[in-house]
Amino acid sequence: MTVPAVEAVDVWRTYELDGVSVSALRGVSLTIDQGEYVAVIGPSGSGKSTLMHLLGGLDRPSGGRLVIGGRDVTTLTAPELATLRNETIGFVFQAFHLLARTSAVDNVALPLVYRGVGARQRRERAAAMLGRVGLGHRLHHRPNQLSGGEQQRVAIARALVTEPAVLLADEPTGNLDSATGEAVLELLERLNAESGVALVMVTHDQEVAARAHRRIAVRDGLIRSDSLHDRPASDGSGVPATLDPAPSAEPRSASGSGPGHPPGGSGGATGATGRLPWEDAG
Ligand SMILES: Nc1ncnc2c1ncn2[C@@H]1O[C@H](COP(=O)(O)OP(=O)(O)OP(=O)(O)O)[C@@H](O)[C@H]1O
Ligand SMILES: [Mg+2]
């Protein structure tokens, strides 16, 4: 059995704001295996984005254990975590977060700068990845010269150019019209199937969630259900292969049972652990 791509054990995340504590996550345990296709659903404010940030090493838990690519994030310095993130994780957000004054190819090449890849090879790999998302003819366009769907495809190419184990997508079609969103979704699904990158996607859309092989429902900072499904049937309904008795706070695959962690208190989780490379420029 291979190492899980990401593993969370009893993870808490408490935000302190103006003297008020908000526990956005209250003891979440889950394992994401290589190549999975997971939909994360839940009401607004339930903790989905908080969970994605943690799974991607953009943030650290206030309590619990988080292991990314076999490495426990609590043992890592901020630069080490940034490196791990660069090697292991790709992010796609609802707002595409592209550098505005930078061409598509250079946006996609940026994560490779942090890998020490030479300029020529960066451009070659970025151009090839843009080709895979159907944008081989738009290499030198800047974001404002691209449609929304094209911009999101650039963001997907940027997320995948480093060949990460996991692609975390937080409402990737949220800013797109339904036809464009569908095309982006099909692209993500194709890349998951072809390259074996695990795809973890937050969505508000039940029909979209039904297409994933696994659905995780988050509510009030807890996992309420975590269920596997067959490939969706042609009617899109999807037949459950296993189904937790919902609602349930029982994780599907927590390994080990660490002690409970109180929310917050450590102060170690305040502040970001480093911004994504494309967020600190321009
Ligand atoms: N930086 C922060 N400081 C304080 N509270 C925060 C912060 N980020 C999120 N929260 C709070 O944590 C809770 C979970 O937020 P989160 O963004 O994870 O929700 P979500 O499930 O992604 O919601 P949505 O579907 O609206 O995107 C919310 O109550 C939110 O107000
Ligand atoms: Mg969110």
Ligand 2 centroid to Cα of residue 59, in Å, is 14
Query: Got the DSSP string for 97-166?
Result: ---TTS-HHHHHHHHHHTTT--HHHHHHHHHHHHHHTT-TT-TT--GGGS-HHHHHHHHHHHHHTT--SE
> What is the structure's pLDDT at 231?
56
Instruction: Give tens-digit pLDDT for 76-102.
Output: 999 999 999 999 999 999 999 999 999
Under the banding of pLDDT at 50, 70 and 90, the label for residue 190 is very high
Q: Closest ligand 1 atom to the C-alpha of 46? A: 21
Q: What is the CATH number of domain 6-232+249-263?
A: 3.40.50.300
Section 55-70 average pLDDT: 96
Instruction: Give tens-digit pLDDT for 146-169.
Output: 999 999 999 999 999 999 999 999
CB 9 within 8 A of CB 71: no
Return the best residue to mutate from 12, 13, 14, 15 for the ligand 1 pocket (most ligand atoms within 8 A of CB): 15
Q: Where are the domains of the chain?
A: 6-232+249-263
**In 18-62, at which residue ranges do the beta strands (DSSP E only) sit?**
20-32, 37-41
Q: What is the pTM of this model?
A: 0.84
Under the banding of pLDDT at 50, 70 and 90, the label for residue 3 is confident
Under the banding of pLDDT at 50, 70 and 90, the label for residue 132 is very high
Ligand lying nearest the CA atom of residue 21: 1
For the cut 90, the answer to whether the pLDDT of residue 248 exceeds it is no
Tokens of 29: 């345990």
For the cut 80, the answer to whether the pLDDT of residue 138 exceeds it is yes
CB 198 within 8 A of CB 192: yes
> What is the structure's pLDDT at 276?
56
Q: Whose CA is nearest to atom 4 of ligand 1?
A: 15
> What is the structure's pLDDT at 229?
82
